[in-house]
A and B are shown apart, each in its own frame.
Chain A
Amino acid sequence: MSAKVGGKKIKYFHSVRLKEDLCVGCTHCIRTCPTEAIRVIDGKAVISDQRCIDCGECIRTCPNNAKYALTNPFKMIENFKYRVALPAPSFMAQFDSDKISLDKVYTALNLIGFQYIFEVAAAAELVNYATEKYLKTTTKKPVISSACPAVVRLILTRFPEFVDNIAMLEPPMDIAAKISKELVMEREGAKENEIGVFFISPCPAKVTAVKQPAGKDKSPVTGVLSMTEIYDKVMSVLKDIKKVKKFEHAGKMGIIWGVHEGEIESAHVKKKVAIAGIHNVISFFENIEQKVFNNLDFIEAQACVPGCVGGVLAPTDKFLAKIRLKELAEKLKNSELQPEKVIKRYNMDFFLLEKKPEPRNISKLDTDLIKAMEKAELIDQLTAEFPGIDCGICGCPTCRALAEDIVLEGRASKFDCIFILKQKIKNIKDELEGNEKLNRKKPGK
């Protein structure tokens, strides 16, 4: 399996990793992986670098905690004189606001080492304005939100036909990084390389989006920290807080981005739809009829249920977090950051991606149509030979995937299928027994 973009093979970075010693080769993960990126080979899971989209489904499923999301180490912040925390909207829902106010949480962020806190929700408010403008001017409808990096990578790997529909807009995280850097440079007279901006992430795909962005060469974000790790650090220092500082907060329209249907809420278009859950996104893209698709204006698609609060790095129960975030959004309602004024400082270029994200074209069987057809026939034939129960014992997620691996990779063998192997052994046994009977008959002729 190799993806070639612009003629050269690309090595893909991934946040989602395997702790080999914990993996027992149980095959749970291979079934839930939405891009069929995992195989169990010699008793251990192996993740395909070309297919993985860092959605984190395998982390959620693994009963042995053998999958994890690599984030930047917290110590990384010490490399910078000026340190900015960019809490994702979902971070705001991790704490019970009746007991721990948002201002108290942010004061704790100050205590653990961040001099500045810039809510990504505030950037989301600005992206709402940019999206409005983009929806009015683009000729490519429907527009698919570019905010969820796992969905963007899903489109690049499995649905290259929708690449042109991805919004050419920077996600709120990136806008937050750009603006907060500007602010610190202005306020402190700091140089850019003295400032570290760190996203507090519910999501492994965001780590990948920073390390290897789609649609630009370099991310403005310095590092991505695990929301669970930051949650623990915040909880640990709460008792040391003497005085809670006052912070300005984004309003409803930005905060609500952390949950399903939050982003489309402020898009003023007629036909909009929101999908949550990576498998739901796949089924939507696979089954939607072309005509219906063409009639849509805007699609919000998120890999997690019920939105980013359901990310694998978010510690609080996702449905509880959803309710909390909605309550918070209603309580804060109007932004204290005057987005309607701030937006005037930036032109549309500030919000646009530098270049079109490149599809990975991994679904093609061959570049030559005749060869591709031969391979497709072979895959169909082999699939028909297998029992079709997708048991996973061969290490592939489905019988068809095993057939594909045999035809396309030459790695697997059809005797990896326990049923085919058993049949083969039975045939050999019958043959041996048959020979024996013949032998036994001989003396008595």
Chain B
Amino acid sequence: MDKTYHIEGGNFSEAGFASSDVKKLLKKLGLPTNIIKKAAIAMYEAEINVVAHAYRGDMEFKIIPGQILVTVQDEGPGIPDLELAFTEGFSTASSKVREMGFGAGMGLPNIKRNTDDISVETEVGKGTRLSFVINI
């Protein structure tokens, strides 16, 4: 089954809606707690990435036997240096975003740590497509 969530850039107060909604569903499906926690963390970070960096985006969540699949497609500035973006502590977040307690440079590294497969396609000036898989 699948679900789609729209995310608006700059809407920090709504960030986390998709991950807590999915968390509720995964609990009902009876998945183990550690899987639910991993999915919630990865989805939350992905939501924050769109809110903090992009203009808007859509998050697609899909669960099939054995796997949770998430794809986030955004319209935004894209990522000029992917390797740097995957480095812990590296961030391009604006000072305004940092003042709000975000932009610690843990987003993508944290997603990577909580997922079993991750891929990023990005085009500078256009946007980013992030996909990740969690095995269940």
Interface residues of A (CB under 8 A from B): 160-161, 286-287, 289-291, 361, 363-367, 369-370, 372-373, 376-377, 380
Contact = CB atoms under 8 A, between A and B. Distances in A.
Interface string B61-83: 00101000000000000000000
Residue of B1, B29, B36, B37 contacting most chain A CB atoms (<10 Å) = B29
Contacts of B63: 373
Given A373-B1, A373-B63, A287 B29 contact: no
Contacts of A363: 27-28
A375 to B, nearest CB: 9
Interface string B123-136: 00000000000001
A126 B27 CA distance: 37
Contacts of A291: 41, 44
Nearest to B30: A364
Closest CB pairs A-B (n = 10): A364-B30, A161-B33, A372-B29, A365-B28, A290-B41, A377-B1, A373-B1, A290-B40, A363-B27, A287-B20
27 contacts: A160-B33, A161-B27, A286-B20, A289-B16, A289-B19, A289-B44, A290-B41, A291-B41, A361-B30, A363-B27, A364-B28, A364-B30, A365-B28, A365-B29, A367-B30, A369-B29, A369-B30, A369-B31, A369-B65, A369-B136, A370-B65, A372-B30, A373-B1, A373-B29, A373-B63, A376-B25, A377-B1
Contacts of A377: 1
Interface of B: 1, 16, 19-20, 24-25, 27-31, 33, 36-37, 40-41, 44, 63, 65, 136
Contact of A372 (B28, B36, B40): B28
A377 B64 CA distance: 13
A15 B99 CA distance: 49
A156 to B, nearest CB: 14
B41 A365 contact: no
A376 B44 contact: no
Contact of B30 (A286, A366, A380): A366
Contacts of B41: 290-291
Main secondary structure of the interface of A (DSSP, over half): helix
Given A161-B27, A369-B65, A376-B1, 19 more contacts: A161-B33, A161-B36, A287-B16, A287-B20, A289-B16, A289-B44, A290-B37, A291-B41, A361-B30, A363-B27, A363-B28, A365-B28, A365-B29, A366-B30, A367-B30, A369-B29, A372-B28, A372-B29, A380-B1
A408 to B, nearest CB: 10
Contacts, number: 48
Contacts of A372: 28-30
A363 B30 CA distance: 8
Nearest to A365: B28
B5 to A, nearest CB: 15
A286 B23 CA distance: 9
Contacts of A364: 27-30
Nearest to B48: A289
Contacts of B29: 364-365, 369, 372-373, 376
A434 to B, nearest CB: 39
Contact of A161 (B1, B28, B37, B136): B37
Among B30, B63, B65, max chain A CB count under 10 A is at: B30
A55 B44 CA distance: 32
A286 B20 CA distance: 7
Contacts of B20: 286-287
Contacts of B16: 287, 289
A306 B29 CA distance: 35
Contacts of A367: 30
B2 to A, nearest CB: 10
Contacts of A289: 16, 19, 44
Nearest to B110: A291
A388 to B, nearest CB: 16
A202 B118 CA distance: 53
A160 B25 CA distance: 14
A369 B29 CA distance: 6
Contacts of A370: 65
Nearest to B41: A290
Interface centre among B1, B19, B28, B65 (most CB of A within 10 A): B28
